[in-house]
Amino acid sequence: MRVLLVEDNIGVAEDLERALTRHGDCEVIWAKSRNSARRHLVDNSFDLLILDRNIPTDDDALDGDAAHGWAIFQEVCQNCSGLPVWFLTATEDADFAANVANDYARQGDIHGIREQQAVVRVIWKKNLNDVVANARTFIDQVRQLETISILNASGVNLTSYEEKNLRIFGRRHLATSLEIIGLSGGLSGARVLKVSVKNSAGAVRLTSVAKIGKSAAVEDEVMRYNANVVRLHPDGFPQLSALVDVGSGKIYGVYYGLVSENVQSTLSILKANPSSAGYIPAELRRISASWERETRQETVTVGEIRRRLLPDTKRDQVIQQLQGIDLTSVEAVRVTANRSTQHNDLHGENALIYDDRKVMVIDFNDVGESFAGLDAVTLSLSTIFHRDSANLRSGWMNPSKIENWTDLASYIDGCAFADFIAECRRWANDVAGSPKTTSALAYAYALRQLKYSDTDKDLARALLRATIKDILN
């Protein structure tokens, strides 16, 4: 367990440090000013923040003020809101305690014991014995939490806050150990993991898909889930089973229940048995039928479609990658386009196969209104541009081949999973508004690939040339 103690009075700091470290494995990091506390909060992870209200700005400053402790508290609320905070104050200010209780009162299952506890507490300095007594209980709970082992066979590089979030979830379900496997690799800035909760005999109690990331990203995903994902067919998405939003600092986790341990991504299926995947696009379309039914048609420019995937501020960053490709004329072309809710990041690692041939989608951080057909185009092109797709495009895809984009028969000739690509194109053309709109979506997707460091730029430019030619004809 690690505690950040922010206290400018060395006598009080020594007393607390001595008492805390005497009780088990507890590391106390001492900061005696606002600025040193800030540095520690950025550079380290903590299980508990004990914060004096009245501290100076810098270690050698003599400007102690309650505003400086309050500034640290505000920063924690904004950037590390899952970190428990114990406020120390020498002034018996009833209004202060009442204001904290009224404005920042928050209860949560800090230790995964299914017990709601205050995340923020105010403690008078004259009652330091209460701090020590409460800390002993806190340390015991953290120690028990840390006994849950994490089996990380896929080598996901977890931070201490991420590990603690997983353990809190596991402890709620009586885990002795957790087995994790990386799924979508954190392309959206958060990790998507398959989590198996195991008992002392090694038997799996339950399996979950976890999305673990910074608080804002996870809260946004939960909002999108409740607004849009629940409208999908019930067998096509995992049910939200838990939110871990306290106890693990700046990291939140949302956990979705899985009905099967046997889960593979679409890209994995395409690699292992490419001819067996032709049914997947139609299943994904069935799952999202409620989104498709709400489609509305508009006439838009290709530039408007491109902005949905790559805003103008990002477009300027890829200009140097174009090598003479002119975007001016194509972006002014008007096409008939349909708008509907889309997943907006439906690459082949976000479409999972379970129980042999059942399909579900995961990772909902981008779900919202967009242009219909984008999910189908993204799924198809992820077999070329996703960072885990190199083996799929080998022997089939090259710049000359991708320039056959509009001639589907030539485009899929030699592809081991031709039925899968053909079904994606059929889905896109059916819902996008017109085949030219499908090309406009592929144009926008290709342009966006130029901003990533790990994509094949020659393939992206070749697809740009093919889609521009189709749109302008």
pLDDT tens digits, 138-183: 999 999 999 999 999 889 999 999 999 999 999 999 999 999 999 8
CATH number at residue 191: 3.30.200.20
> What Rg value do the Cα atoms of the chain yield, rounded?
26
**3-class secondary structure, 334:** strand
Indicate whether 244 and 293 sit together in one domain.
no
The residue that leads in pLDDT, 104 or 74, is: 74
Indicate whether 239 and 296 sit together in one domain.
no
Locate 204 and state its tokens: 């799996």
Query: How many other C-beta atoms lie within 10 A of the C-beta of residue 212?
Result: 29
Average pLDDT over residues 442-452: 97
Provide the pLDDT for residue 187.
Answer: 46
Indicate whether 185 and 247 sit together in one domain.
yes
Locate 405 and state its tokens: 């984009």
Categorize the per-residue pLDDT at 247 as very low, low, confident or very high, splitting at 50, 70 and 90: very high
Q: From 237, 258, 279, give the residue that closes a domain.
A: 258
Strand partners, 212: 191, 253
Q: From 100, 121, 145, give the residue that closes a domain.
A: 145
Parent domain of 122: 2-145
Indicate whether 316 and 413 sit together in one domain.
yes
Dist CA 194 CA 209 (whole Å): 5
Provide the pLDDT for residue 38.
Answer: 98
Query: How many other C-beta atoms lie within 10 A of the C-beta of residue 281?
Result: 26
Locate 322 and state its tokens: 């174009």
Indicate whether 317 and 453 sit together in one domain.
yes
Average pLDDT over residues 83-89: 94
> To the nearest whole percent, how much of the chain has pLDDT over 70?
99
Sequence-separated (6 or more) residues with CB below 8 Å from residue 33: 8, 55, 56, 57, 58, 59, 61, 68
Residue 79: pLDDT over 80: yes
Residue 65: pLDDT over 90: yes
State the amino acid at position 253 in one-letter form.
G
Q: Residues 451, 455, 458, CA angle at the centre, nearest 5°? A: 95
Indicate whether 311 and 347 sit together in one domain.
yes
Q: For CA atoms 340, 341, 347, 350, give the dihedral sign.
A: negative
Provide the pLDDT for residue 127.
Answer: 84
Sequence-separated (6 or more) residues with CB below 8 Å from residue 265: 183, 184, 348, 349, 350, 351, 352, 353
Dist CA 329 CA 316 (whole Å): 16
Indicate whether 41 and 172 sit together in one domain.
no
Please count the CA atoms within 13 angstroms of the CA of 143 that sit on its side-chain side: 11
Indicate whether 33 and 129 sit together in one domain.
yes
Indicate whether 437 and 322 sit together in one domain.
yes
Sequence-separated (6 or more) residues with CB below 8 Å from residue 357: 279
> To the nearest whole percent, how much of the chain has pLDDT over 90?
87
| Statement: the pTM of the whole predicted model exceeds 0.85 | yes
Categorize the per-residue pLDDT at 285 as very low, low, confident or very high, splitting at 50, 70 and 90: very high
Dist CA 257 CA 252 (whole Å): 17
**3-class secondary structure, 471:** helix
Q: Residues 314, 316, 321, CA angle at the centre, nearest 5°? A: 105
Locate 7 and state its tokens: 């206290």
Indicate whether 249 and 267 sit together in one domain.
no
Provide the pLDDT for residue 124.
Answer: 87
Eight-state DSSP code of residue 249? B
Indicate whether 40 and 57 sit together in one domain.
yes
Q: Give first-to-last CA distance, the chain, whole Å.
A: 65
Q: Which of 373, 369, 372, 394 is nearest to 384 (CA)?
A: 394
Average pLDDT over residues 412-417: 97
* Alpha helix positions (H), 413-449: 418-432, 435-449
Query: How many other C-beta atoms lie within 10 A of the C-beta of residue 419?
Result: 18
Asked whether 405 and 470 are in contact (CB, 8 A), the reply is yes
Residue 103: pLDDT over 70: yes
CATH number at residue 23: 3.40.50.2300
Dist CA 425 CA 217 (whole Å): 31
Dist CA 465 CA 402 (whole Å): 10
Q: pLDDT tens, 321-376?
A: 999 999 999 999 999 999 999 999 999 999 999 988 999 999 999 999 999 999 99
**Candidate from 154-158, 419-423, 430-434, 459-463 with smallest mean pLDDT:** 154-158
Query: How many domains does the chain contain in total?
Result: 3
State the amino acid at position 425 in one-letter form.
R
Indicate whether 435 and 348 sit together in one domain.
yes
Q: Which of 85, 109, 238 is nearest to 165 (CA)?
A: 109
* Mean pLDDT over each residue of the chain, to the nearest integer: 95
Average pLDDT over residues 259-286: 94
Provide the pLDDT for residue 185.
Answer: 53
Q: From 116, 145, 174, give the residue that closes a domain.
A: 145
Residue 90: pLDDT over 60: yes
